[in-house]
């Protein structure tokens, strides 16, 4: 085990060196556009335009405290999220803008560079998130919005040029966690649930493929049971400290099913390529190695923005805010800090087979 951990550390340090060299080179955009789909981990403000409850919005001062403008943008982070960081490694300034933030005129100028359709609280199921946060944009609607955009692209640029642009672009997806959260409160048949989740994922990937997508960067579900909210859940239900294991078991069980589905789909659909990030292994690695020469996480359990046990009360205008945000793993009860999102994006971009399979995003751009 010690030798394996040492190998992980070497891999991580080599990873950061590669990213640093790439950043120093100031390379041009590696792909023509990036299109983002998913939930709060990659939402950049779509929910600000919905009839969403407070829990489904990140539009008050604490959110965005470390963003360049120091203003809330709808990101569930103290600064950039993983979509921003990955976009930056691909040569963009940050994630493409929230689809709902654009007018017909601005969509016309932006759609050839990418759009972000993600919605906090949403999931692969059409009803996911609605009871908890109110109005959200499920994957069904996110894909439908993209279909509308593709139609306009065809009208403006023609079918051949549009198909060429989309085939070279990156489609970044981070979803499924909210479906799993909700299911965990009324568990019945875990295997049936996970198979249904992966089947839904496959349906949307095929829909995007038939609209022109070819290169997919997908993030699997992380160990959700270790978030502050779920640590509090375990303390409340069991009276003990630690991660909420039943939810982690679901997270862990979803990865091999998702990996098998993607491999099967890539064999079925000509020209499809993908990079699957193993979020469970990524987070587990950081837990095992909280301090290296390149990062120092001194708080792995408590949210930076929140109060009460594990800071899991929720981030709002009145709760205290930690000062050393780069030392915290969690920003609020359920979301990572900007520091963690940076590591995640770095790993997706140039990680090896320990963390991403069958290739990383940088390799994906070259296909």
* 3-state SS, residue 173: strand
Give the number of other Cβ atoms within 10 Å of residue 282's Cβ.
25
In the residue annotation, 40 being an active-site residue is answered as: yes
103: pLDDT strictly greater than 50: yes
In the residue annotation, 335 being an active-site residue is answered as: yes
For residue range 174-221, what is the model confidence (pLDDT) as tens digits?
Answer: 999 999 999 999 999 999 999 999 999 999 999 999 999 999 999 999
Q: Is the peptide bond before 358 cis (omega within 30 degrees of 0)?
A: yes
Tokens of 38: 């998913």
Q: Could you tell me which of 288, 282, 287 has the C-alpha nearest to residue 355?
A: 282
Distances (CA, A) of 125 to 64, 196, 222, 274: 29, 10, 18, 22
How far apart CA 342 and CA 19 sit, in angstroms, is 11
Q: Which ranges of the chain does DSSP label H, i.e. alpha helix? A: 2-25, 82-89, 104-110, 130-133, 139-157, 159-168, 177-183, 190-210, 228-238, 245-268, 279-288, 338-350, 361-365
How far apart CA 297 and CA 70 sit, in angstroms, is 23
Catalytic residue among 39, 84, 326, 335: 335
For residue range 260-317, what is the model confidence (pLDDT) as tens digits?
Answer: 999 999 999 999 999 999 999 999 999 999 999 889 999 999 999 999 999 999 898 8
How far apart CA 278 and CA 261 sit, in angstroms, is 14
Q: Which residue has the tokens 């972000």?
A: 116
List, in order, residues 6 or more apart from 185 with CB less than 8 Å away: none
pLDDT at 6: 37
Catalytic residue among 39, 40, 77, 177: 40
248: pLDDT strictly greater than 80: yes
> What residues form DSSP beta bridges with 37?
173
Give the number of other Cβ atoms within 10 Å of residue 148's Cβ.
12
Tell me how many degrees the CA angle 144-146-147 measures, rounded to the nearest 5. Answer: 65
Catalytic residue among 174, 217, 332, 341: 332
pLDDT band at 16 (very low <50, low <70, confident <90, very high): very low
Selection from 6-10, 67-71, 149-153 with the highest mean pLDDT: 149-153
For residue range 53-87, what is the model confidence (pLDDT) as tens digits?
Answer: 888 899 888 999 999 999 999 999 999 999 999 99
Are the C-beta atoms of residues 334 and 304 closer than 8 Å to each other? no
Q: What is the mean pLDDT of residues 316-334?
A: 94
The structure's pTM equals: 0.93
Domains within the chain, CATH numbers bracketed:
31-224+247-293+341-365 (3.40.50)
pLDDT band at 88 (very low <50, low <70, confident <90, very high): very high
């Amino acid at each position: 085990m010690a030798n394996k951990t040492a190998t992980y550390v070497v891999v991580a340090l080599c990873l950061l060196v590669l990213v640093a060299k790439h950043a120093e080179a100031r390379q041009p955009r590696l792909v023509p556009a990036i299109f983002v789909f998913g939930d709060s981990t990659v939402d950049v403000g779509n929910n600000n335009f919905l009839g969403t409850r407070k829990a489904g919005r990140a539009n008050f001062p604490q959110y965005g405290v470390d963003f360049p403008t120091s203003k809330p943008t709808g990101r569930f982070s103290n600064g950039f999220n993983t979509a921003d960081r990955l976009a930056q490694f691909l040569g963009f300034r940050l994630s493409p803008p929230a689809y709902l933030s654009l007018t017909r005129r601005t969509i016309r100028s932006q759609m050839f560079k990418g759009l972000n359709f993600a919605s906090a609280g949403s999931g692969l199921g059409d009803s996911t998130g609605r009871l908890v946060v109110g109005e959200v944009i499920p994957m069904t609607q996110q894909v439908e919005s993209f279909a509308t955009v593709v139609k306009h692209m065809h009208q403006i640029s023609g079918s051949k040029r549009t198909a060429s642009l989309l085939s070279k672009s990156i489609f970044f997806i981070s979803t499924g966690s909210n479906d799993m959260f909700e299911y965990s409160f009324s568990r019945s048949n875990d295997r049936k649930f996970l198979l249904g989740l992966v089947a839904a994922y496959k349906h949307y990937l095929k829909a995007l493929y038939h609209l022109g997508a070819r290169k997919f960067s997908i993030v699997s579900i992380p160990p959700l049971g270790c978030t502050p909210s779920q640590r509090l859940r375990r303390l409340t239900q069991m009276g003990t400290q630690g991660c909420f294991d039943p939810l982690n078991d679901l997270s862990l069980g979803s990865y091999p099913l998702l990996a098998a589905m993607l491999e099967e789909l890539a064999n079925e659909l000509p020209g499809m390529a993908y990079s699957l990030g193993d979020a469970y292994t990524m987070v587990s690695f950081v837990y095992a190695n909280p301090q290296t020469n390149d990062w120092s996480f001194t708080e792995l359990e408590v949210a930076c923005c929140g109060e009460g046990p594990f800071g899991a009360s929720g981030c709002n205008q009145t709760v205290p805010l930690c000062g050393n945000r780069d030392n915290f793993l969690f920003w609020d009860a359920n979301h990572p800090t900007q520091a963690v999102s940076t590591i995640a994006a770095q790993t997706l971009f140039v990680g090896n087979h320990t963390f991403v399979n069958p290739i990383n995003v940088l390799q994906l751009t070259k296909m």
